[in-house]
Amino acid sequence: MPDTYATLRSVLTSAFRVPEEEIRPELTLAQLDLDSLALTELVLILHERLGVKIDAEHASRGTTLARIVEHLDALRAGTTVGTGDAGAAVGPHGTGGAGPADRASATGGAVTAAHS
């Protein structure tokens, strides 16, 4: 298993041209001048390299590199809260079911209610 911090450093230096000497665990992504587009790209690259995907909550501009590494390590170890069954679908409301917007897209845009 590759070292998470080393992988993050490598991504920051190669993909985002952050000088290696400027990368420190206590720095936030904002302090490294990563904007929202860069954060999206960072999440995708880390997913490709490490096989786990972090959500926006754990990759915001205010997140330190140490917190990102901690979260990635927990995901890789399968120890995060709410990981559950990898094959289970989770809707936008934290349940296994789809929310109204998901049902609307699945029915061609119409949300229908059952009438008795």
pLDDT for 84 equals 38
Distances (CA, A) of 95 to 84, 88, 92: 12, 10, 7
pLDDT recorded at residue 66: 96
Q: Which two tokens stand for residue 54?
A: 């972090």
Give the end-to-end CA distance of the chain in Å, rounded to a whole number.
57
Residue 61: closest CA among 33, 29, 90, 37: 29
* Per-block mean pLDDT, blocks of 10 residues, the chain (116 long): 90 97 97 95 95 90 96 88 37 39 43 44
Please give the CATH topology (third level) of the domain spanning 4-82. Answer: 1.10.1200
Read off the pTM. 0.66
pLDDT value of residue 55:
86
pLDDT of the residue at 79: 76
Please report, for the chain, the start and end positions of each structural domain, with discontinuous segments joined by +: 4-82
Q: What is the pLDDT, as a whole number, of residue 80? A: 60
One-character DSSP codes across the chain: ---HHHHHHHHHHHHS---GGG--TT-BTTTTT--HHHHHHHHHHHHHHHS----GGGSSTT-BHHHHHHHHHHHHHT-STT---TT----TTSSSS--HHHHHHHTTT-------
